[in-house]
């Protein structure tokens, strides 16, 4: 991941293909977002009760999961993704325990034969009991799994599953397009430890046998965001009074030695909330919490309980880049979820653009500009930002660079889009994209599933313009637009060149002797007359357009 660190230490993964580093995983479990087919495509998980007992001394878990399912078409069997390392000890459907030969999980997809066929609209109650040792992460969060660590001699445990998916921990539909209606998680851990969770804490019960059960409830959770994060935690919290009239608890579970730094970070979190709510819209999960938990790995955007392992490092920009980036995902990943992994830039690119945007909002335009320039150096553009449907992009292919472009190039496309359409169109379009409305109201917000083309349609409606030329050039073509410049005497001709079938009609500002003028570039071409043939001129003087840069290309090749 060294090349990616040029941009920032990335904290969210996409596809982890089967490789030498993942041989202990089945091929299916090592992948996520495989196409929804068969029974997995024919049912909706309405609610899950997921109880897991964690046994740190044995590095094992014991799981008991119950589901309320709705069939969307006729079914004679059910199927869920589950790492085959787990031993499934019992399965029951509508209260009837299945015979051992009625279910099987040889390769990572647990199939269960229904006692009687279901028809569309039927409700099915399913219970699965299982046990085993979760896959141990080799380098969380990039190489996912469970982390068995210690803090001052006590267990400190975390999981990170985005790259490989929810099936590393529990039986689920491992596809980001499938959202649960709701989930209740019951984490049982040795007494003295705290088990954090998604959503709201319902109860904490001492079982009288040396264990304590923490019961959490959450609505609309993302599958990979259901995680175990356990440790000898203390809680620092602050109530945030939202501009939308509701009160949001900011809660940070941290190690005791981190108390001072954690309290400062909670106060900083309040500025993030103010920025995102004023720029995009209401915090989507204000009825639950804005949660953080200190983890032994770097971080991950788990819904309402963001993993944080940046060790409170000082930053000359005056903020914690990791926490701000992960918190952006509450809007761009957990609220707005890509319809398929090919559109992952919607999470990472918009989320990454929120960092310079926040810095400019907090400290001024120089901070925004300097951060955009830092990101610009990491853009590779070897492959399209949005892969063709049916082709799963490889996050870890450094030569292709897709796994870093979804961050930096995605952010720069947003930067250029801001120049093209203006904030008065772009920010309402982002709100519409994120919530499905331009007037979101706390308590009425539910997640939406989006594609890049959804964004094009929304932005086109906001501007009244056909933006096919923009979206095709930046998202569906690998090469960046190039600007050809030819001078003949006092006349300077400019031409945009892209592999797109559409003329690239990006307006171009040109500075001549200190004064700016704008060329509309109809058909991708435009020209200006200089006051004399020696006059100094500079296209795109404020660096607002993402285009090929020969100096950056040479620098990248030299590394």
Q: How far apart are CA 506 and CA 523, in angstroms?
A: 9
304 near 289, Cβ under 8 Å? Answer: yes
Q: What is the pLDDT of residue 15?
A: 38
Question: For the residues 264-270, what does the mean pLDDT come to?
Answer: 98
Q: How far apart are CA 278 and CA 9, in angstroms?
A: 27
Confidence of residue 389 (pLDDT cuts 50, 70, 90): confident
Residue 7 has pLDDT above 90, yes or no: no
User: Strand, coil or helix: what is 358?
Assistant: helix
DSSP secondary structure letter of residue 286: T
Question: For the residues 30-57, what does the mean pLDDT come to?
Answer: 95
Please write the tens of the pLDDT for every residue from 273-329.
999 999 999 999 999 999 999 999 999 999 999 999 999 999 999 999 999 999 999
Beta-carbon count within 10 A of 523 CB: 11
Q: What is the pLDDT of residue 422?
A: 97
Closest CA to 363 of 391, 406, 324, 328: 324
Residue 5 has pLDDT above 60, yes or no: no
Residue 6 has pLDDT above 90, yes or no: no
What is the DSSP secondary-structure string of 1-70?
-HHHHTT----------S-GGGTTS-TTTT-------GGGGSEEEEEEEEEEEEETTTTEEEEEEEEEEE
Please write the tens of the pLDDT for every residue from 392-412.
898 888 889 999 999 999 999
Please write the tens of the pLDDT for every residue from 449-480.
999 999 999 999 999 999 999 999 999 999 99
* Averaged confidence pLDDT in the chain: 94
Please write the tens of the pLDDT for every residue from 13-22.
333 333 333 4
Q: What is the dihedral of CA 539, 542, 547, 551, to 10 degrees?
A: 90
Q: Which domains does the chain have, with CATH numbers?
A: 2-145+155-240 (2.60.40.1730), 336-476 (1.10.390.10), 482-558 (2.60.40.1910)
- From the number of C-beta atoms within 10 Å of its C-beta (0-12, 13-18, 19+), residue 511 rates as middle
pLDDT-above-90 percentage for the chain? 90
DSSP secondary structure letter of residue 553: H
Residue 179 has pLDDT above 50, yes or no: yes
Beta-carbon count within 10 A of 24 CB: 12
Q: How far apart are CA 52 and CA 287, in angstroms?
A: 25
Residue 407: partners with Cβ closer than 8 Å, 6 or more residues away: 4, 7, 8, 10, 348, 349, 352, 375, 378
Beta-carbon count within 10 A of 20 CB: 5
Q: What is the pLDDT of residue 270?
A: 98
Angle at 240 between CA 235 and CA 245, to 5 degrees: 145
Q: What is the pLDDT of residue 1?
A: 31
**Helices then strands, each counted (H, E), the chain:** 10, 28
Q: What is the pLDDT of residue 56?
A: 98
Q: How far apart are CA 30 and CA 544, in angstroms?
A: 40
Look at 226 and 395; give whichever has higher pLDDT. Answer: 226
Token pair for 521: 């570039």
Q: What is the pLDDT of residue 2?
A: 31
Indicate if the alpha-carbon torsion angle 406, 407, 412, 418 is positive or negative.
positive
Confidence of residue 9 (pLDDT cuts 50, 70, 90): very low
273 near 252, Cβ under 8 Å? Answer: no
Q: What is the pLDDT of residue 347?
A: 97
Q: What is the pLDDT of residue 136?
A: 97
- From the number of C-beta atoms within 10 Å of its C-beta (0-12, 13-18, 19+), residue 397 rates as middle
Q: What is the pLDDT of residue 16?
A: 37
Calculate helix-pair angle for 452-463, 423-435, nearest 10 degrees.
140
Question: For the residues 116-135, what does the mean pLDDT come to?
Answer: 97
Closest CA to 242 of 202, 201, 275, 200: 275
Residue 50, strand partner residues: 65, 185
**Strand ranges inside 123-258, DSSP E:** 123-132, 145-151, 154-160, 182-190, 194-196, 200-206, 211-219, 229-231, 234-241, 247-254
Sheet strand arrangement including 537-539: 515-519, 508-512, 537-539
Please write the tens of the pLDDT for every residue from 420-446.
999 999 999 999 999 999 999 999 999
Token pair for 355: 């960092």
Confidence of residue 176 (pLDDT cuts 50, 70, 90): confident
Helix (H) or strand (E) holding 511: strand 508-512
88 near 103, Cβ under 8 Å? Answer: yes
Q: How far apart are CA 530 and CA 487, in angstroms?
A: 10
Q: How far apart are CA 542 and CA 516, in angstroms?
A: 10
Residue 8 has pLDDT above 50, yes or no: no
**Strand ranges inside 329-414, DSSP E:** 336-338
Please write the tens of the pLDDT for every residue from 81-124.
999 999 999 999 999 999 999 999 999 999 999 999 999 999 99
Token pair for 230: 């356990």
Peptide bond into 405 cis (omega under 30): no
Question: For the residues 225-253, what does the mean pLDDT come to?
Answer: 97
């Amino acid at each position: 991941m060294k090349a990616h660190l040029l941009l920032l230490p990335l904290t969210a993964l996409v596809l982890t293909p089967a490789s030498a580093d993942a041989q202990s995983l089945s091929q299916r479990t090592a992948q996520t977002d495989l196409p929804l087919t068969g029974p997995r495509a024919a049912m909706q998980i309405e609610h899950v009760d997921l109880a897991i007992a964690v046994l740190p001394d044995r590095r094992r878990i014991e799981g008991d999961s119950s589901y309320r399912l709705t069939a969307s078409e006729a079914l004679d069997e059910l199927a869920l993704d589950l790492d085959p390392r787990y031993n499934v000890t019992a399965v029951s459907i509508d209260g009837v325990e299945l015979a051992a030969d009625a279910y099987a999980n040889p390769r990572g997809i647990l199939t269960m034969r229904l006692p009687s066929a279901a028809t569309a609209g039927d409700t099915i109650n399913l219970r699965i009991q299982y046990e085993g040792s979760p896959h141990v992460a080799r380098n969380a969060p990039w190489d996912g799994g469970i982390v068995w660590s210690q803090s001052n001699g006590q267990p400190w445990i975390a999981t990170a599953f985005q790259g490989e998916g929810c099936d590393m921990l529990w039986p689920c539909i491992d596809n980001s397009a499938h959202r649960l209606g709701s989930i209740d998680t019951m984490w049982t851990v040795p007494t003295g430890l705290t088990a954090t969770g998604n959503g709201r804490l319902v109860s904490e019960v001492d079982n009288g046998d040396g264990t304590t059960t923490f019961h959490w409830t959450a609505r609309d959770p993302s599958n990979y965001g259901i995680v175990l994060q356990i440790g000898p935690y203390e809680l620092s919290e602050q109530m945030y009074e939202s501009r939308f009239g509701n009160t949001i608890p900011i809660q940070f579970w941290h190690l005791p030695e981190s108390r001072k730094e954690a309290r400062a970070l909670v106060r900083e979190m309040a500025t993030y909330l103010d920025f995102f709510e004023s720029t995009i819209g209401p915090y989507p999960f204000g009825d639950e919490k804005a949660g953080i938990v200190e983890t032994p790995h770097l971080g991950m955007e788990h819904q309402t309980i963001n993993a944080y392992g940046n060790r409170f490092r000082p930053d000359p920009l005056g903020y914690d880049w990791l926490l701000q980036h992960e918190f952006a995902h509450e809007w761009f990943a957990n609220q707005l979820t890509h319809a398929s992994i090919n559109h992952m830039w919607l999470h990472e690119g918009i989320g990454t653009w929120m960092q310079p945007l926040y810095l400019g909002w907090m400290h001024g335009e120089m901070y925004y500009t300097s951060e955009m320039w830092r990101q610009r150096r990491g853009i590779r553009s070897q492959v399209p930002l949005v892969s063709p449907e049916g082709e799963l992009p490889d996050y870890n292919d450094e030569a292709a660079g897709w796994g870093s472009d979804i961050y930096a190039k995605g952010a720069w496309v947003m930067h250029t889009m801001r120049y093209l359409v203006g904030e008065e169109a772009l920010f309402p379009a982002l709100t519409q994209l994120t919530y499905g409305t331009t007037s979101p109201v706390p308590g009425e917000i539910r997640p939406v599933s989006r594609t890049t083309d959804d964004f094009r349609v929304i932005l086109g409606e906001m501007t009244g313009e056909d933006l096919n030329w923009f979206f095709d050039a930046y998202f569906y073509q690998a090469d960046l637009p190039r600007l050809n410049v030819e001078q003949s005497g006092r006349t300077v001709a400019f031409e945009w060149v892209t592999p797109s079938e559409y003329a690239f009609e990006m307006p171009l500002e040109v500075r001549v002797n200190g004064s700016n003028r704008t060329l509309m570039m109809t058909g991708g071409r435009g020209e200006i007359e200089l006051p004399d043939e020696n006059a100094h001129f500079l296209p795109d003087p404020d660096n607002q357009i993402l285009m090929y840069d020969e100096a950056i290309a040479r620098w990248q090749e030299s590394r």
